[in-house]
Structure 1
Amino acid sequence: MKADQAKKVDFIRTAEKLKTQLANLEKDKNGHLYNRKSDFKVEYSLLEELEHSMTVSRKTEKAKILQHLSKIQNNVKRLQQQLKDVKPTPEFVDKLKEMMEEVENAVNAFKEEQRQIYEQLLKEEKTTINELSVFERKVELWALGSSTSEKVLKLPSARVSVDKTLENHLPEEVLEFERFLQRTGGRQGGWDDYDHQNFLKVWTKHKGRLSYIDEALEYLCGRTKEDIEKHDKWYQEFLILHERKKESIKKWKEKQQQEKEGNLKEKEKSEKMLKEEWLQHEEAQKQKAEEERKRQKAAIEAWKKQKAIAFAMEQASQVKLEKEKEKKHQKEHQRQCHMKLLLERYTLQKKEKEELEKLEKEKREEAEKEERKRIAAEEITKFQERDLHKLELRILQKQAKEVEKREKEKRLAKLREKVETHLTRDWSRLYKPTKGWEERIKGVAPTASEPLLRIPRRAVPAWRQGL
């Protein structure tokens, strides 16, 4: 368990480390890609679309994996729930077996799917690394500049002196092929590896027909049609000389094979003589081995006899032990039977005792139940009498209120008879002045009949009099 715990801790630590590394890589990528986005808007928009599609696919794949894992986890939890309540029945065992197979198949299918995905990713990674290495090589060649490439193309075409020993031992076709390579700039005709590989791809696609030149111009940036035609002539001559070299090497190998076969025949003769001598020596060794085998056989027979005696003694002791074991087993069986009888007797006594206690308990409960019924009946009678008394009091109170109400109505009727008056309506009173108005106008003299003697004016101050 400690080892498993350590593995889990290492796995979690590695996952966190990779997660941090991924975040840093994404940060660097965004910094490199989008710093000068305005300069290369079209290219960066394509990169943005590609990144968005890859992010969506990654999230979809993550959700799918989580869904698959949750399904496996639910199956495992359901299996654990089933294992908590184990039933020793064939149906339950078959059900458990089916659930375990389902979980195992789900896990295996998930592993196989992930393995295929990882293999595909590894292939894509390898392809991407190869493409990046090609692009890096091409960028390095661009960095060297045109001066270096011109120096490579303007190499002296003088023949490089071949060692005299090689000229004596190698075929003429091989020497001619090597001179051709030295004269024309190696196995790529003076071109760089990237351009030569693109030329070969297009040339192979069109099988050497002249229709390949237009397509080759698309792949070979900086190369003209005349350069491609010259390289085509060089490549055809290269194939012819290479074929001649292969034929001469094949003939040379056949000659060497014939010489080798002659040497093998001589070697076989010497080996045959050595084999005869070895057979004689082997015969002597066989005789010696036969004598040794007989001696060992006698020793084995003696050992077998001793082994048989020891086995017989062991069997006798084993039989004795078996008898003692059987007696011991019988005694143990008798003791278990005795204990079983005692246990059955004790169980029977306990059961009878429990039944007696149960009967007594039932009788006691029945008596208590009857007592409760009697008490309930008495209480019900008391409650009924109390309710009847309250009802009578309520009826008497109601009757007293009605009597008091009738007496009150009689007294009111008598009072109304005493104070009741009969009045008649006088409509002229509406046009007459009231008593209050008459009293008010008694001391007021009429003003309309007397003349106005003096008009009231405001007083003039002393300092303004005479002005």
Structure 2
Amino acid sequence: MQVKGHHTALKMQSSDERVVLAKTADFLQKAEHLRKLADKHAKERKWNNCSRKNDLKDCFCSLEELENKFNSELKIEVIRVRQQLQKIRNSVYRFQGQLIDVKPSPDLIEKLKDIMSEIESSINTFKEEQHQSFEELLKEERTCWQEIWAFEKKIDAWSLTVKKGAEFYITPKVRLCMDKKGKEVLPAEVMALEAFLQQTGGKLGGWDQYDHQSFLKVWTKHHGKPSYRTEAKFYLPSKTEEDIRLHEDWYLELCRLQERKKEAIQKWRAERLREKEARLQDQESEAERREHEAAAAEAQRLKQEEERREAAARLETWRSQRKQQQEQEEEQRLREEILQRKQLKEERRRQLEVKLAIEAHIRQKKEEEELRLLEQEAQERAEMEERQRLAAEGIRRFQERDLHKLETKLQEKQAKEEEELERVKKQAKLKEKVESHITRDPSRLCKPTKGWKEHTKEIGPTGGGPVYQMFHRAVPAWRQGL
């Protein structure tokens, strides 16, 4: 059971890691797309500024000053954020360094608690500052959106074509919210989403970033099924089931409002596109009508002049074509002549190279053959000398071996003769010292020996008394003690 639980935990961890990696890849892809889009808009804005700078010099000077100011503020903000992140990173590294090769003690635990509290405080402060900054940016974005909306209305009013006795072409508008002064502001769906976020504690529903991300991870894993609440309790120990249910209702409402906001923005964009297309169509039709009238007025006047110009152009074209054709023919002839000369020169050069290559090859083959013959003669001479040397060496070695064998045999023969002579001398000396007279007695073989006589001299009793010993089977010495 423990192995199964461990395997299940590993599978859950791997699935969570895959989800985190997928979200990270999606975020990086979106960030890259936004970066490219920002670069594209910056290039377009720069090109528009350059093309219109002469006409509106004063306005563009103020815009450049404002842009430089924003860029400097952005750089300062980036440096400040990087410094804060580096400070948090250094605190984490210091905390990790305290955990290396240490012995647990109350002082160490208190020190680690202080460091963790400092890190947590830094992170919370950084998150709060970023949250406030994002809220301010959202407010500025809403203000800019309203201003852009007002400017677009003015520009649209300027671009309409005004005729005598005609009225402005009015297209149906997207349903917008109205403020107290009767001015048009953001769509109702957008205002509803913003009001909902302001009333419910922002984009996280009053929760912190970690708890909200844990909720989203479990929610996504279970596809919004009620079974997610059991697992959510393990990830959110500080939240009750009622808090999780309320956050679920808040998240569903947020998704619904975001979807309505997206649909409203799409409808608004489509309506704006239809309005622009209608205005452009009216302008194009008016321009076409005027152009048609101007063309009809000048058609008769330009017809004869056009015919004369066409005739003169045809004549001039024929002359230029004729001249160009002659020049091309002359150029072609010269190119063919030059090419033919180059081919002949190349052929002679190739033949000369082939001839030189053949002569060099023949000379090289001849030199190689002479060198081969010389090497062969030298090799044969060396082999002959080597064979003679080996034969002389073999003859000398055989002679030495035969001489050694002969000397060995002579020494052995001389040693045997000396041994035989020594043996004869010893026998002669023994014969001189000992004189033996031995007589034969065939009956002594049947006589008892002295040992047997001593053994049979005294014979004890033949049983009837007590037994003082018991005979046992003899045990060899090498088996005793086993």
TM-score tier (shorter): 0.3 to 0.5
Q: Which has the higher Rg, Structure 1 or Structure 2?
A: 1
The alignment's TM-score, normalised by the length of structure 1, stands at: 0.40
